[in-house]
Amino acid sequence: MKRSALISCCLLWGYAVCAQSLQQKLSAAFNRLQADSQCRYASVSLTVLDAKTGEQVFAVNPNMGLAPGSTLKTVTSITAFNVLGKDFLYQTQLGYNGAITDGTLNGNIIIKGGGDPTLGSWRWETTRENHILTLMVNALKKAGIKKISGSIIGDDSLFGTQSIPDGWIWQDMGTYYGAGTSGLCWRENSFDIKLHTGNTGTPVTITHTVPAMPYLTIKTELVNGPAQTGDQSYPYLPSLNSNVIYIRGTYAIDQTKKSSSASVPDPAFDAAYRLTDTLKRIGITVSNEPESTTTLTAKGKSIPQFTAQLISISSPGLSSIIYWQNHVSINLYAEQLLKTIALKSGKDVTTANGVKALQDFWKAKGIDSNSLNIFDGSGLSPGNRITTLTMARVLQSAKKESWYTDFYDSLPVYNDMHMKSGSINSTQAYAGYQTYKGRELCFSIIVNNYNGSSRGIKDKLFRVLDELK
C-alpha cells in the first residue's frame, strides 16, 4: 500500500512539474507573441487542455469571442459525428412520374437530392460525374425507357430556398469556396473558368470553361496584375432572372494555373442538364428542356413527385466526407453537414436551424451558447465568434469517442502537428492535438486583427505551439 501510494505521489508530482514547466514556456512564448508588432492592435487567445481529463493546462483570454475562420469546421465535424454517426450515408433518389408505354416514358425523370455534397465530386471513384451518370443511365435502361416525353428535373427542395448563409460577403459568393448549399449538389457546385493572360494592365481573356457551361454567359472585367500579386479574381453570380456571370479583379501574369473557379448558380439544374445531355448523346431522346426547383418556381410550377423509384445512390460514409472537408477545407461540405444536423433535429432545414441545433447539442453538454455565436458551419462568415476555451472543450470531448481516430486523421498536418487552420479577414487560427512528454493535449489559438503578412503571423503562432512538442 505504501509503495503504491508512493508511486502515485511521484506520478502526480511528475505531472505537476511537467505542467508547471510547460505553463512557464507557454507563458513566455505567448507574451512574445502579444508583444510582437504584428499583434499591436490584435486580439489573441490560447487555450490548452489535457485531452483525456479536460484539465486546463494553459489559457490566456479563453473566454474572448473571436472569429475562428475554418477552425470552426472542427466543431461542425465533431457535432456531425455525434448527431449523425460516423457511418451516416446520404441518399440521392432517381425516379419518374407518369407511365412507360412501349419504351416511352410519358412523364418526367426526377433526381431527388438528399443533401449529398459529394454527388459528382472527383474525390472518389464512386462519386465521379461519369460514374454517377452511368448509374442513372443504366437504371433508365433497366426500366425499359428509350424515350422521354417530358423533362429531367433536379429536385433540390430538401434544403430550402436559401443557399447562402446569413453573414457571407458578396465577394465570396461567386467563388468555388463560396458555393451555396443545395438539396441536390453536383460537382461540388463549382466549375473552372480557363484564362489567357497577357501584359500587365491589359484585359484577361476567357478561353473556355470546364465543364462547358453553354447555358451561362461569362463576361470578364479581369485585368492582368503584376507578378507575385496572386489570384485576385472574383466571379459574381447572375442576378435574378439572368444567366450572366461577371469575373472581376486582377490575375497575376506569373500565375501558372490560368484558371479561376466559380460556383454554379443552380446545381440542381446543372445535374439535370448533364443527365439530359448524356441521354441525348446515347440516343435516348428527351422532349423538354431540363428543369430544377428554381426554374419551375420561376414559371409558377411545382416539382412533381415521382411515383416509381429507379435507383438510390449512396454517398461515401461520413468519416470519409469529413476527412476531405478538413484536409482541404471544403466550405460546402461543412454547410451541407450543418443543414443535415438541422434535418436530423426535426427542424426546418435552414442554416440558422442548423446553428441552433448545434448550439443546443453543446448546451446540453454544459457549453454556453453565447460562446458559440456563429452564423454558419464552415467559418466563412466574418461575423462568427467563438472562444478558444469552447473550441478546446469540443476537441477534448471527441477524445473518448469511438470515431476519434477518424476525426484525428481528418486534420491536416502543419508544423508537424495535427491541426485545422483558419484564416479570414486578418484572422489566423489553429485547433488540434499534440502529445507533450507522453501527455495528450488539445488546443485552440486564435489571432484577430493582426497586421502584416500572413506568413509572418503563421510562423509566430508556430513558435508558440512549438512549446507543446
Flag whether pLDDT at 431 surpasses 60: yes
| Range in 5-14, 86-95, 246-255, 258-267 the model is least confident about | 5-14
| Omega of the bond leading into 265 within 30 degrees of 0 (cis) | no
**Joined grid coordinates for residue 124:** 472518389
* Mean pLDDT confidence for 241-265: 92
- Sequence letter at residue 416: D
pLDDT tens digits, one per residue of 348-387 = 999 999 999 999 999 999 999 999 999 999 999 999 999 9
* CB distance 93 to 307 below 8 Å: no
Residue range 455-460: average pLDDT? 97
Site of grid cell 469575373: 247
Looking at this protein, which amino acid is placed at residue 258? K
Q: pLDDT-derived band of residue 237, with 50, 70 and 90 as boundaries?
A: confident
The whole-number pLDDT of residue 2 equals 45
How confident is residue 334, by pLDDT bands cut at 50, 70 and 90? Answer: very high
pLDDT at 78 over 60: yes
450, amino acid identity: Y
How far is it, in rounded angstroms, from Cα 132 to Cα 51? 41
Confidence of residue 19 (pLDDT cuts 50, 70, 90): low
**Are 127 and 192 in contact, with CB atoms under 8 Å apart?**
no
Band of pLDDT at residue 319, cut at 50, 70 and 90: very high
**CB neighbours (10 Å) of residue 228?**
9
pLDDT of residue 74: 98
The stretch 119-144 carries a mean pLDDT of 98
8 Å CB contact between 401 and 84: no
Handedness of CA 372, 376, 378, 381 (dihedral sign): negative
The β-bridge partners of 362 are none
Say yes or no to pLDDT of 13 above 50.
no
Residue 447 has pLDDT above 50, yes or no: yes
Task: Report the alpha-carbon distance of residue 373 to residue 391 in Å, rounded.
Answer: 12
Question: Concatenated DSSP letters for 298-319?
Answer: HTT--PPPPSEEEEEEEPPPHH
pLDDT of residue 98: 96
